[in-house]
Structure 1
Amino acid sequence: MRSIIRVHGGFDPHTPSSARIYDYLLGGKDSFAVDRSVADELIMIFPELAELVAENRQFVARASAWAARRGIRQFLDLGCGMPAEPTTHDVVQAVDAAAKVVYVDCDRVTISHLRALSEHGHEGVVSVVEADVRDVAGVLKYVSGSLDLSQPACVILGCLLHLFPAAEARAVVAGYIAALVPGSYLILSLGRGDGPRAVGFFRAYSNWAGPVYNHSAADAASFFGSLPLMPPGLVDAREWRPDVPLSEPVPPRDGETLAGVALVTR
């Protein structure tokens, strides 16, 4: 499956996009002036923002490789954003070149870049769906031509769920979990914080770029439902199986990228 499923209309280059803001914070070039302006203002409020975004990207890469090394060959990357190094498919295909990745996003610019990526050297193993991840039934219908969900798979929700209210986030995750068979994995991360700068960031982002929710650590844990968390549990992204063992605890900050991986056992 190499087609793009289109479910949205056009885009407004004068409206900031979370996907393009994220890309800019990672050092990418696929953003508009409005995205860069909002990102720069957010960095003024929360200077560590770019670090947290990079730490999330690194966590998703480590967790995806970890799942691939445990035999997972199917990955569904929801709300994936712009292609960023390392991409999910680069990471998992380094373990097995035949591993399949389906990217899902609703930002038209993101979809354009993902389409170009999927059509150049990745036919049959990288697919793209343009859809709202909250349309669980629709997304699962579209990916059925690429992934065989009667076999173990890995669902990735990287720094996405803070865009939804807690109850909606729980429902979305539960919908995807219900489609997975035992032996599958869920990779999840989100941004949150209790300090004044983090709280200021969430308030400013909601004002400038759309609603964003500062979920509690308890809410973040609830998004996994009853699934058992793999060690080291739900932790700061810097602490989730780092490539180089930490010599001391990570320094505290006003905010964090909270991350974890769970196993589907039922």
Structure 2
Amino acid sequence: MTVRPTDRLDETVGIDTSRPHPARMYDWYLGGKDNYPVDAEMGRQMLALDPRVPVMARVNRAFAHRATRWLTEHGVRQFLDIGTGIPTEPNLHQVAQAVAPDARVVYCDNDPVVPARAAALLRGTPQGATEYLLADVREPDVIIEGARQVLDLTRPVALSLVALLHLVPDEDGAHELVDGLLSQLPTGSYLMMTHATADFTPEESTAAVERLTAAGSTVALRSRTGFARFFAGLDLVEPGVAVVDRWHPELGEPVPGRDDGTIPGYGAVGRKP
């Protein structure tokens, strides 16, 4: 069945259109219509620094598809996707339920546009379930409590944090947030994650961080070592930490617009022992 959106989605919530939001900028990069002029303006500024930004967005989505497919093929039937972004097909539940129709998925984002659009657009299989939470990654207890209404937290869950943690600096407890979420998931659960880095484009990345910070966003580009810290104590799935589009490329399709340059981001999947 498809589960109704939580009561929290029925509350009257304001949408801040005075400053860009990552989910809406992501939608703009992908050619969507659920964004505002402020998001498009900042998106154009990012494109001026690196015209591959839309390709990076597509590469991150492609990683999520490949990782979801790998996890489902290896027996995972429950997914908690935080930082969902505005729905763009195929969505995580469609990839998972194509392999396992009984897969259950909880989506979560902190922009009211996201769950509102998700509730209208996302429909899962009759055998599975789909839920939508309006919450911030900095509210792990709210997220887990909402997820518990749909997922059996005594059974493995794949925690998806794709293109999210580079928006949470260390001083906001990024590592503690991930550890806290994983601590409430059972043995056999997984963390699937991507993260932007300045390792390959230091000058462009510095300029991008400055502009996003001036617009009110928080950005924390981490090195390969910094990204790998999120997987401390987990058993990494081969090939371990990899440039994002080099993680099991055989499981997906080529990304349009991809060139031979290195995409400035990392991806990995790890299992909780």
The verdict on a shared fold, with TM-score over 0.5 as the criterion, is yes
- Output the CA distance in 2 between the equivalents of 1:75 and 1:14: 33
Query: Contact 1:5–1:130 at 8 Å: present in 2 too?
Result: no
Q: Equivalent residue for 2:23? A: 19
* TM superposition shift of 1:218: 1.3
SS of 2:160's equivalent in the other structure is strand
Q: 1:258 and 2:266 equivalent?
A: yes
Q: Equivalent residue for 2:134? A: 130
Unaligned runs of 5+ in 1: none
Q: Equivalent residue for 2:35? A: 31
Structure 1 segments (4+ residues) deviating >3 Å:
120-124, 250-253
TM-score (norm 2): 0.89
Higher alpha-carbon deviation: 165-174 or 66-75: 165-174
Alpha-carbon displacement from aligned partner over 1:166-190 (angstroms, at most 9, x marks no partner): 3511011101111121221110111
Q: How does 1:148-227 map to 2 (within 5 A)?
A: 148-166=152-170, 168-194=173-199, 195-227=202-234
- Output the CA distance in 1 between the equivalents of 2:72 and 2:31: 27
* TM superposition shift of 1:205: 1.7
- Output the CA distance in 1 between the equivalents of 2:40 and 2:112: 17
Query: Contact 2:19–2:215 at 8 Å: present in 1 too?
Result: no
Structure 1 residues 244 and 116, CA gap change in structure 2 (3 angstroms): closer
Query: Contact 2:192–2:268 at 8 Å: present in 1 too?
Result: yes
RMSD: 2.1
Alpha-carbon displacement from aligned partner over 1:128-178 (angstroms, at most 9, x marks no partner): 011112111111111111000100110000000011113511011101111
- Output the CA distance in 2 between the equivalents of 1:244 and 1:125: 24
Q: Equivalent residue for 2:245? A: 238
Q: Equivalent residue for 1:109? A: 113
SS of 1:152's equivalent in the other structure is coil
Alpha-carbon displacement from aligned partner over 1:49-100 (angstroms, at most 9, x marks no partner): 1111111000011001100001111000001111122200010000011111
Residues matched between the structures, number: 260
- Output the CA distance in 1 between the equivalents of 2:44 and 2:6: 32
Q: Equivalent residue for 1:60? A: 64
- Output the CA distance in 2 between the equivalents of 1:88 and 1:164: 23
- Output the CA distance in 2 between the equivalents of 1:14 and 1:111: 20
Q: Equivalent residue for 2:101? A: 97
Unaligned runs of 5+ in 2: 253-258
- Output the CA distance in 2 between the equivalents of 1:244 and 1:186: 18
Percent of residue pairs bearing the same amino acid type: 33
